[in-house]
Amino acid sequence: MAMGLDMFRGEHPEHLVFMPLKILNYSGSDPNLQYLCRGSLSDYAACQCKEDEGEVACINAQFVDTDVFFNLNAHYKSLQKVTFHGNNFQDLPSTSLFGSVLDLSYNFLQSVPFELPCPFPSLTSLDLRQNFLKNLVVNGSCLTKVRSVDLSRNQFYSLTSSFRHLASSAQPDTYVLRNPFHCDCKSNDYVTWIRDKHTLVCDRASPRNFVGARLVEVPLHKLDCSERTEKLMDFAHREYLKDFVCAIILEKIFQPKTCTVIGVGDNFNHPAMKNPACFQ
Calculate the CA 187 to chain-centre distance: 27
Distance between CA atoms of residues 93 and 221, nearest Å = 44
Long-range contacts of 218-224 (CB under 8 A, 24+ apart): 218/183, 218/191, 220/187, 220/188, 220/191, 220/192, 223/183, 223/184, 223/185, 223/187, 223/188, 224/184, 224/185
In terms of pLDDT, which residue wins out, 128 or 70? Answer: 128
| Per-residue pLDDT tens digits for 107-126 | 999 999 898 878 767 889 99
Output 216 or 224, whichever has higher pLDDT: 224
pLDDT tens digits for range 164-203: 999 988 887 788 888 888 888 888 998 888 877 755 556 6
Q: What angle do CA 99, 58, 142 make, to 5 degrees?
A: 25
| Phi, psi dihedral angles at 32 (to 5 degrees) | -70, -15
Question: What secondary structure letter does DSSP report for 274?
Answer: G
- Where is average pLDDT lowest: 9-23, 87-101, 203-217? 9-23
Question: Are the C-beta atoms of residues 135 and 110 closer than 8 Å to each other?
Answer: no
Q: Is the pLDDT of residue 32 over 70?
A: no
CA distances from 206 to 33, 154, 191, 194, 246 (A): 57, 21, 14, 18, 19
Q: How far apart are CA 195 and CA 60, in angstroms?
A: 38
More confident call, 149 vs 97: 149
Express as a percent the part of the chain with pLDDT over 90: 26
Q: How confident is the model at residue 101 (pLDDT cuts 50, 70, 90)?
A: very high
Q: Does residue 46 register a pLDDT over 80? A: yes
Residue type, 237: H
> What is the rounded average pLDDT of the residues 12-33?
46
Q: CA–CA separation, 136 vs 120, rounded Å?
A: 18
Whether residue 128 is predicted with pLDDT greater than 90 in this model: the reply is: yes
List, in order of start, the domains of the chain with CATH numbers. 35-150 (3.80.10.10), 179-280 (no CATH)
If pLDDT is split at 50, 70 and 90, which confidence band does 275 have?
very low
* Angle formed at CA 165 by CA 134 and CA 83, multiple of 5 degrees: 50
Determine if residue 273 is left, alpha or beta; phi over 0 gives left, psi from -120 to 50 gives alpha, anything else beta.
alpha
